[in-house]
Chain A
Amino acid sequence: MSINNLLSKKRNNIVSKAFDLIISTYPEQSRIFLKTKSNRFSNPIGYNTNQTIEQIIDNIIADEELGSFLLPLENIIQIRAVQDFTPSQAIGFIFLIKKAIYTEIHKEANSNELMELMSRIDSLALIAFDIFMKYRERIYDIKAKELIDRTWWILKKWNIVSEIDENLLETKQKNKER
C-alpha cells in the first residue's frame, strides 16, 4: 500500500490524535471545553484547530502544493500568535501533527517513503515560522497605527503637522502639462 493510501485509510485517526496533542498545549482545565470542536462560534479555538488539521492532512494525502497549506496554517497560527505561548510553542504544533502521522502509520509504511514524508512535513514548520512572524509584525503595526488613529486627525487640524495636499499636487501637475 502506498503511503498516501495508508494516510487515507488512517486519516480520521491521525486527525483525532493530532487534535488531542495540539489541545494538550493548552492548560489542563480548559481542554475538555476546547475539545468540543463542533461549534465554530462558541469554541473558535477548537473549531479552527480541528479544521486546520483536517485540511493539512487532506492536502498531504492529495499531494497538494505548498501554497494550499498556507490558509489553514494561517488560521491556526493567527490564533496562537497572540496566546500565552512562546514562539516555539506557537508553531511547534506542526511536530505534533507529524508525531500523530508517524504513530499511526510507521508500522505499515515503507521506511524510505516515511522518511521522505516526515522531511516534507518539516518544511511546514519553516513556513509556520514565517506566518508567525507575519502576525507578530501585524501586532506591532497595529500598536503604532492605533496611536496615529487616536491623534493624527487632531494634530493635522491644529496645524501641528501638515501633510502634502493632493489637490495642490494635481494643480502643479496640470500647470506642468500646460
Chain B
Amino acid sequence: MRLPRPEELISDVNLNKMPSRRWMDTLPVEFKPGFYCYGAKGKNLEYVGFPNARDFHVTDEDWKLPEDWKKIVIEGIKQRIERFRTFHVFMDICVRCGACADKCHFFIGTADPKNMPVLRAELLRSVYRKYFTSGGKIFGKNGGARELDLDILKELWYYFYQCTECRRCSLFCPYGIDTAEITIIGRELLNLLGLNTDWISGPVANCYRTGNHLGIEPHTMKSTLEFMCNDIEDITGIRIEPPINKKGAEILFVTPSGDLFADPGIYNCMGYMMLFHELGLDYTWSTFASEGGNFGFFTSLEMAKRLHSKIYEEAKRLKVKWILGGECGHMWRVWHQYHDTWYGPIDFLEEPVSPITGTKFEHAKSTKIVHISEFTADLIRHGVLKFDKRRNDNLIVTFHDSCNVSRGMGMFEEPRYIIRNVCNHFYDMPDETIREQTFCCGSGSGLNAGEIMEQRMRGGFPRANAVRYVHEKFGVNMLANICAIDRAALPPLMQYWVPAVRVSGVTELVANAMIMKGEKEREMNLRMEPLPGKEE
C-alpha cells in the first residue's frame, strides 16, 4: 500500500458538478467535541415537569427515549400543524429557491450544507411529508420524504441546536418563511422527548425557581446591586440606594440577570442605576421579576409563557404604572411578538409616559413596556441629560444590532442616536452586516455554552469579520450592543477574531459620559480604568 499524496489525504479533489451523495444519504451525524451542547440534566427537566426527565448524554448510543417516541413526535407535529397555521404553511410552501441558503451565519461560517436554512428546515419537512402529505406517502425518498428513525432524530437535534433563531434567512425568503419558527417548533418536538441541552434547561429550571436564569436569590440580588453602588460611589462620589420591591413605584425595571453578574454586563447595570438616580425616577427593581430574558422560549411556548408571567404578575403585585426594560435580546422578541398573544392587551397598567419629558410611548400602548434605549434617546432628544463626551474619547465605537431587537422589533436608530450623543467616535459596519441584515453573534437562543466554543467562533465569524473591517479601517476598539447575550458572547468572539476590540452595553457608555449633579471630578470609568487625560 503506497502512502497517499497530501491532496488525497485532506481533500476530495473530484470536482464534480453535481454532488455525488444526496443530503439524505449523509447519516448518521458525528458528534464531535466543540460541535454539540451537553445534554440536559434530569433534575432540571423534572423541576419544571418536562417529559422524559433523565440525565441525557449526547454521545451515548442510547438516548433513553420512551418506547413510543416516534409516535410522540409524529403526534406532536400533527398537533402543531393544527395549532399553528404558520407552521403548516411553512412546511408546504417552500420551493427551495435557495434565496436563504447563503444568508445564515452558521452556514457562512461552517460551510456545512445542512446549516443552509432551507436544508435545516428540510430535515423536518421531509418527516412531515412522509406522514402528512400524499406525495410523501407514495413517493417516499423520491418525493423528498423520510421515515423517522433514530438517526434522523439525532440529526434533527444536532442541527436545531445549530440555529440561533436569528431570522436573517427569513428576511430574504420571497415567501416570508420564518425558518426560526421551524427551529422553534423543531425544538418543541425534541423537548417532548426530554432532548434538551444543559445550557438551556438549567436556566429554565433556575428561572422557574428564583425568577432568573442564574439562580440569584433575593438577598444576593440586593447585595449585588449594593456592591455596584459602592463602586459607583468610589467613581462619582454619589451614593445610590437602589429601590427594591417598592410597592406603588411608577415604573418596574426589568433587565436580564447577566447584567447583575457578569463582566461587562455589570457596568451596564451600574449605568442603569446612575441614569435613574440622576433623573430622580420613581422606579423599582424586583427580586422576583429578576430576569428579562426567557430561556423558556428555547424550549416550548408554554414554558416561555410560564416564565414570562412573573414579570406580568410582579407588575400587578407592585402596582406600577408601566414597565421599563433593560438591554436584552430575546426578552424583547418575547414581549414584542408573543406577549400580546398570551396576555394582551394588558388591562391593569397605564400607557407608558416618560415622567421626565412627558413623551407618550404610543407604540407601547398594548404591551406597556418601553425599551431603555427608547427611553434614553427620548431624554437626550429633550436635552434632559448633560454629557462630557470626552470621557469616551479613548473609544472608537461601532454598534452591533442584536437580532431580536433589530429584526425582531425593528429598532435601529435609537441606540445609534444615543452613541453619537455620548461618544465622539462612532463608525457603522458595512450595510449588509447591520440593521435588519445584521449578523448574529453566533451564540443566541441558548447556544452560549462553553462546550461549543468552536461552533460559536465559526457561527460568529461573519459578525467578527465585519468588526475586523471597521477595526482595520477606522481603528474601532469598542463593540457596543443592547443585548445581554451579546455582552456574554461577543467578548470571546472578539478575543478570538479581533482581540483589540472590547465589548460594552450602550448604557455603560451613557453613564460614563453623563455629568451627574453633585458628582466629584471623575478619574475613572465604570470599569475603574483611568479616563482619557487622567492616566498617570
Contacts and interface: CB of A to CB of B under 8 A. Distances in A.
Contact of B10 (A25, A34, A45, A83): A25
Interface in A43-71: 43-45, 48
Interface stretch (B105-113, B144-152, B375-383): B105-113
B108 A43 contact: yes
Contact of B496 (A89, A139, A149): A139
Nearest to B489: A146
A144 B262 CA distance: 14
Contacts of B101: 33
Nearest to A28: B19
Contact of A83 (B19, B21, B110, B462): B110
B112 A40 contact: no
B68 interface: no
B10 A95 contact: yes
Contacts of A25: 10-12
Contacts of B97: none
B432 A42 contact: yes
Contacts of B417: none
Contacts of B34: 82
B108 A45 contact: yes
A127 interface: no
Grouping DSSP codes into helix (H, G, I), strand (E, B) and loop, the B interface class, with mixed when no group exceeds half, is: helix
Contacts, number: 141
Contact of B261 (A48, A142, A143, A154): A154
Interface residues of A, number: 50
A104 interface: no
A149 B262 contact: yes
Name the residue in A34, A39, A135, A153 with the highest tally of chain B Cβ atoms < 10 Å from its Cβ: A153
B6 A95 contact: yes
B38 interface: no
Contacts of B497: 78
A99 B8 CA distance: 11
A61 B15 CA distance: 28
B462 to A, nearest CB: 6
Interface in B449-469: 450, 453-454, 457-458, 461-462, 465-466, 469
B457 A82 contact: yes
Contacts of B462: 41-42, 44
B534 interface: no
A150 B496 contact: no
Grouping DSSP codes into helix (H, G, I), strand (E, B) and loop, the A interface class, with mixed when no group exceeds half, is: helix
B13 A84 contact: no
A146 B449 CA distance: 10
Interface string B315-336: 0000000000000000000000
Contact of B492 (A22, A26, A79, A142): A142
Q: Lowest 5 A-B CB distances belong to which pairs?
A: A95-B6, A29-B113, A92-B10, A157-B227, A30-B111
Given A33-B111, A157-B223, 4 more contacts: A21-B7, A21-B13, A141-B495, A153-B266
28 contacts: A24-B11, A25-B12, A28-B19, A29-B23, A33-B107, A39-B432, A41-B462, A42-B108, A43-B108, A82-B34, A82-B454, A83-B110, A83-B458, A84-B32, A89-B10, A92-B7, A92-B10, A95-B5, A96-B6, A96-B7, A98-B6, A138-B495, A139-B454, A145-B492, A146-B453, A150-B488, A152-B263, A157-B227
Interface of A: 20-22, 24-30, 33-34, 39-45, 48, 78-79, 82-84, 88-89, 92-93, 95-96, 98-99, 135, 138-139, 141-143, 145-147, 149-154, 157-158
Interface of B: 5-7, 9-16, 19-21, 23, 32, 34-35, 101-102, 107-113, 223-224, 227, 261-263, 266, 430, 432-433, 450, 453-454, 457-458, 461-462, 465-466, 469, 488, 491-492, 495-497
